[in-house]
Chains A and B, each alone.
Chain A
Amino acid sequence: MIEAAAEETAVRLGPRGRLRGEWLVRQGKWLIILPPMLYLLVFFLIPFAFALMISFADTAVRVPPFTDILSISPDRHIHLTLSLGNFQYLFTDEVYGLSYIYSLKTAFFSTVICLVLGYPMAYAIARASKSTQSVLLLIIILPFWTSFLLRVYALEGIIRETGLLNTALLWLGIIHKPLQIMRTTLAVYLGIIYSYLPFMVLPLFATLEKLEHSLLEAAADLGSPPWRTFIDVTLPLSMPGVIAGSMLVFIPAIGEFVIPTLLGGPDNLMIGRVLWDEFFGNRDWPVASAVAIAFLVFLVGPIALYQHYSTKQLEA
């Protein structure tokens, strides 16, 4: 269509203008492509290169608090000083390894619980009538957009020692002294599940909605019991949604900072918290960059998996 337009303009402009018109239309698209491309390149992608560079620097007492990697000596030679010390440090101080493993474990179990709770929810929404469906979707989407910080704070109001849960259980006589949930691992799990549940439900719904009901009927006609149909037909067909939803919970949950800080205790040392402390507490930026880079390397697999399945879902 653009080509057609080029010809159209070219005819009007005559032989000389024809070349200019074509060139304009062909190159004009860069006026549209380049602004977002350059912006994201400079302010999203290149920062990762900076982090990589600084992870090879040494800490120094100055502003900014690290040494230069590239330096020009008086005889005009450029010197590249790479220090692997930060990465070695990650292996020698066990706090980093432990917090990686702890974050992975927490994110994994939270994802599984979100999946177990979110799948039937998405399934129920997919089976509702069209008008009920849009209302239910809105109900799920609304918390999705509401501030994480405020929702975690709201949860604290429920599970704190004098919160609603303990008050209700005490009043009912089920317990005789308040449960200690705040500052425990349980609180961190509750926080992650509560915050990320909508992230699981939405992609699951998107695949389950497209599921052909005739397939399920066919399976039933052929004598397959409902649980069998679920395992043989529904579950495999909804796999893209399962993976996209799980990654949407798993990836941000590993890096979670707000939840372990506000709800967890000193034992709930997740990698996000370590990074934050390294940056704001110790002000050791090279080590923090090294932690971030190592973290990112772990994430490449899950992110690629998510990209693959979410584009598949878009094209379907």
Chain B
Amino acid sequence: MHDRASPLLISILAVGIAILYIPILVLIGYSFNASALVSVWGGFSTRWYLQLLHNDQILDAAWLSLRIGVAVSTGAVILGTLAAISLVRFKRFRGRLLLTGMVNAPLVMPEIITGITQLLLFISMLNFLSWPHRGFTTIVIAHIAFCTAYVTITVQSRLQTADRSLEEAAMDLGSGPVRAFIDTTLPIIAPALVSSWLLSFTLSLDDLVISSFVSGPGASTLPMVIFSKVKLGVTPDVNALASLIICLVGVCVLFAGYLMRRAERQRQLDAQMAER
């Protein structure tokens, strides 16, 4: 359905987009405010950004969050891809319904419930197995669980459109099924893997609620530090930090979107070539 939308529709769309973006743009604008008073404009300055570099609490938290993000997205991409392959390629197996449910449920489950239940599990595990100690490990484990869900959905939709005849041809030529998959299908889904890695990374970097529950003493992620500062009110250094994170996440999401679009265009091009 493509024809001109009415002016009313377009203005509602414009208002909606304005609502979504104005607060973020204002936040980024004020992060360059020289004045320490958050409501008075005191000229352009990057002093709050420079001040971040000397704040050990924030630097430690940022380093922890980045490490967690890398570990989580790597783990989630591996597990999520395996789950996507299972759901797309094996039409019938015992527990298929269970796997489908467990992949979809984290997307809608309120974080606070996931966080509480996972904390209770970790506590009981520590009691019986003396592992894992609350902190880096538990946050990584908990984040992988919900990021896997997002990875599965992304890879699944890509895998469904992948042409399997190439893989079959490779097997007819004597490749084993694993080899054939790596040579033919993996390159096709590679953009989906990269973009879901980036998306998992941003999800992990942004999470506050689950991290707060499963973390232990001494392990504060970036959102946890920001939350404790924000509860006290708006401060200029948090403005700078928030702007940095929003830009980082924005770059990740745009890059992920770009990869997916380029792959989609390539696929359409290939399909056209094949038809000739």
A2-B177, A213-B3, A288-B116 are contacts. A64–B124 as well, Cβ < 8 Å? yes
With a CB–CB cut-off of 8 A, which chain B residues contact A148?
Answer: 206, 208
B interface residue count range (under 10 / 10 to 19 / 20 to 34 / 35 or more): 35 or more
* B227, CB-defined interface residue at 8 Å: yes
- Residues of A at under 8 Å CB distance from B? 1-2, 4-5, 8-9, 25, 28-29, 32-33, 35-37, 39-41, 43-48, 50-51, 54, 64, 117-118, 120-121, 123-130, 134, 136, 138-143, 145-151, 153-158, 160, 162-164, 167, 193-194, 197-198, 201, 208-209, 211-213, 216, 247-248, 251-252, 254-258, 261-262, 272, 275-276, 279, 285, 288-289, 292, 295-296, 299, 303, 306-307, 310, 314
* B38, CB-defined interface residue at 8 Å: yes
Contact A150 B12 (CB under 8 A): no
Stretch among B22-30, B44-52, B66-74 lining the A interface: B22-30
Task: Name the residue of chain B whose CB is nearest to the CB of A133.
Answer: B2
- Interface readout for B231-261 with A: 1 if CB under 8 Å, 0 if not? 1001000110010011001101110010001
Q: Could you tell me the distance in whole angstroms from the C-beta of B1 to the nearest C-beta in chain A?
A: 4
Contact A289 B116 (CB under 8 A): yes
With a CB–CB cut-off of 8 A, which chain B residues contact A41?
Answer: 98, 102
* B219, CB-defined interface residue at 8 Å: no
* B154, CB-defined interface residue at 8 Å: no
Ordered by A's residue number, 21 sampled pairs between the chains whose C-beta atoms are within 8 Å are A28-B177, A29-B86, A32-B90, A33-B95, A37-B99, A37-B102, A39-B148, A44-B106, A44-B145, A50-B124, A126-B1, A139-B17, A142-B254, A147-B208, A148-B206, A209-B1, A247-B108, A248-B108, A261-B231, A279-B116, A295-B113
Helix, strand, loop or mixed for chain B's interface? Answer: helix
- Interface readout for B34-58 with A: 1 if CB under 8 Å, 0 if not? 0000110000000000000000000
Helix, strand, loop or mixed for chain A's interface? Answer: helix
A25-B177, A124-B9, A141-B253 are contacts. A33–B86 as well, Cβ < 8 Å? yes
Contact B113 A146 (CB under 8 A): no
A275-B112, A289-B120 are contacts. A118–B209 as well, Cβ < 8 Å? no
